[in-house]
Chain A
Amino acid sequence: MASTSVQTEKVDTGPPADGRTSAGPHSGPARGRHRLAGTAPYLLLLPAVAVTLLFLGYPLVKNGMLSFQNLNMRQLIQHATEWNGVDNYRETLTSDKFWQVVKRSVLFTAVNVILIMVLGTLIGLLLARLGNKMRTLLMFGLVLAWAMPIIAATTVYQWLFAQRFGVVNWVLDKLGWHSMADYDWTGSQFSTFFVVTLLIVWQSIPFVAINLYAATTTIPKELYEAASMDGAGVWKCFTSVTFPYLKPFLLATTFLEVIWVFKAFPQIFAINEGGPDRLTETLPVYAFVEGVGNQHYGMGAAISILTILILLGLTAYYLRIVLKQEKEEER
């Protein structure tokens, strides 16, 4: 939460004066520890790397192997291994359905992330402008939405948008939109996506807004004073002071939101299981339905590997920036 702004400022801008080199091989207080100091970082990283390799890397490798197998219910029960080469991949990559889902996933991610980042930033800036009382009030609302467990939030949204007795339909009806009185929100692709998007945006904005507000409190006041002496207005202040200062934070948050939205599973699955007619399946839901639901486990594994590759592609830009910055820092 609050941490991210600290993290990103530290990570991405990498204050050059911050030469954190105390652990270098020549800085230990006692010379006899040189050799130990050299291996210390690796020893400290060992537990994290070991458990990740064991519980993430191993299933991932296993998943990769399954993607080259013809694995259905029968093979699963009989513990049988039937290799079928790249058949799963060939079948997936040549199916129109798969590419439709890819397009849909990317579009879905883009729309959600843009909404989350733009509205989250605006609300974060609003928090910075509010008086204490109003800020506490809005923060309280944001924290409530943020803290709602996903499954609970999804259940509540189903109730809000329930066809009968759902409060949303009632309000729309009272506002004069009488055709909405008994509207079935999960009946069409667009309206189902509308509810899912609202749910995800509602739950994700607080993270961006609260962190952004926290980050703005760290902007030195002098920068604004200097800017306003130069006659900068509100917009100019934003573009010349706030935005450049927050840029690393915004980049890191966008990266996280892309991952989270792209992987969003329970929200879509619980609202309508990817329906109606499988029209709201995004990649993770598609992989789950094909793999677990239809018991084509090998296919599911192949789709999940492709999902990872696509996600890597979507985030490559950010990963490259991080890599470049860390390289510079290391010099």
Chain B
Amino acid sequence: MKRSWLGRIWPGTLAVVLFVFFAFPVYWMFSTALKPTSQIISEDPVWFPDAPTLEHFRTAVNADHFWTLVRNSLTVTVLAVVFSLLIALLASFAIARMRFKGRRGFILAFMIAQMAPWEVMVIAIYMLVRDGDMLNSLVPLTLFYMVMVLPFTVLTLRGFVAAVPKELEESAMVDGCTRPQAFIKVIFPLLAPGLMATSLFGFITAWNEFPLVLILNKDAEAQTLPLWLSQFQTAFGDDWGATMAAASLFAIPILLLFLFLQRKAVGGLTAGAVKG
């Protein structure tokens, strides 16, 4: 197809404009965090931090309990994602590969479970957790986050399982594998990109969760990073440098995970989609 001169320049320009639109807030967060306060509170914005300082990061890291909260957040998030993946893998395999009575009902149930308004059920959850004497513990948080990400994980993994050619499994079974063996040896490795993609979503959801931990864990030592960040902002008021440093520290793990996993997940998609 022949394209006009305009037709070739225009998409590229648009891409750059859109890139700036999407990347700028993230850039502004990091660059503010690195600027000395005098450059943050200036009548004209300083676009590049020419005298970068780690002072704001130091403030954030030295805030009370910071490292405890990092550990809490990581523990809760990782465990919730791993558990939900394990459980979802079984369920998605059943839904994607088997025909049985009530299959539709299960799919619909997971879709509806996805709508659960967790934010507004906090009181009911608070009472249950209180009556179980589990306030200020990471255990209920882990379990609730696991269920929070489960429906999406099941429904998404189901697509990945369905995308693996059934013939692979069948030929393994002809070669003498049992069904579970065929699954572990043949299908599971092919699902790796799908598992990565879905775990990303789970990770983000759990890492972000905020209303539930706000109600359940009042002890400073039992809280997680989103709560810390929201309180940090109130506590530090107009100290935008420290606030942006705190936001950066909170965002960095996800950004790294995303940039690392994104490509693999898309690669996995195209591999699976060729068949579709």
Contacts and interface: CB of A to CB of B under 8 A. Distances in A.
B158 A284 contact: no
B81 to A, nearest CB: 14
B108 to A, nearest CB: 6
Interface residues of B, number: 116
A277 interface: no
Given A214-B266, A323-B108, A326-B103, A149 B251 contact: yes
Interface in A11-39: 11, 15, 18, 20-24, 28-29, 38
A145 to B, nearest CB: 4
B68 interface: no
Contact of A2 (B45, B112, B266): B266
A86 interface: no
B273 A167 contact: no
Contacts of A292: 122-123, 215
B15 A126 contact: yes
B39 to A, nearest CB: 10
Interface in B57-109: 87-88, 90-91, 93-100, 103-104, 106-109
Nearest to A224: B1
A68 interface: no
A175 interface: no
A36 B258 CA distance: 41
Contact residues on A (Cβ < 8 Å of other chain), bracket: 35 or more
Interface in A120-149: 123, 126, 129-131, 134-135, 137-138, 140-149
A257 B32 CA distance: 31
A330 B266 contact: no
B42 A165 contact: yes
A63 B121 contact: yes
B51 interface: no
A51 B23 contact: no
A149 B207 contact: yes
Given A2-B266, A47-B91, A55 B147 contact: yes
Contact of B115 (A40, A145, A312): A312
B58 to A, nearest CB: 19
B159 interface: yes
Interface in B138-155: 143-144, 146-147, 150-151, 154-155
A149 B128 CA distance: 28
**10 cross-chain pairs, A with B, having the tightest CB-CB distances, nearest first:** A7-B159, A304-B120, A2-B269, A23-B98, A147-B258, A141-B22, A44-B94, A48-B91, A63-B124, A141-B19
13 contacts: A6-B160, A22-B170, A41-B94, A52-B113, A59-B128, A62-B124, A141-B22, A147-B257, A151-B230, A153-B25, A159-B244, A160-B25, A259-B115
Given A2-B269, A22-B97, 15 more contacts: A3-B160, A5-B269, A11-B158, A40-B98, A42-B100, A51-B87, A52-B151, A66-B123, A76-B127, A152-B250, A284-B117, A292-B123, A307-B120, A319-B111, A322-B108
Interface of B: 1, 11-12, 14-16, 18-23, 25-26, 28-29, 32, 40-42, 44-45, 87-88, 90-91, 93-100, 103-104, 106-117, 119-125, 127-128, 143-144, 146-147, 150-151, 154-160, 162-163, 166, 169-170, 173, 179, 193-194, 197-198, 200-201, 204, 207-208, 210-211, 215, 226, 229-230, 233, 240, 243-244, 246-248, 250-251, 254-255, 257-259, 262, 265-266, 268-270, 272-274, 276
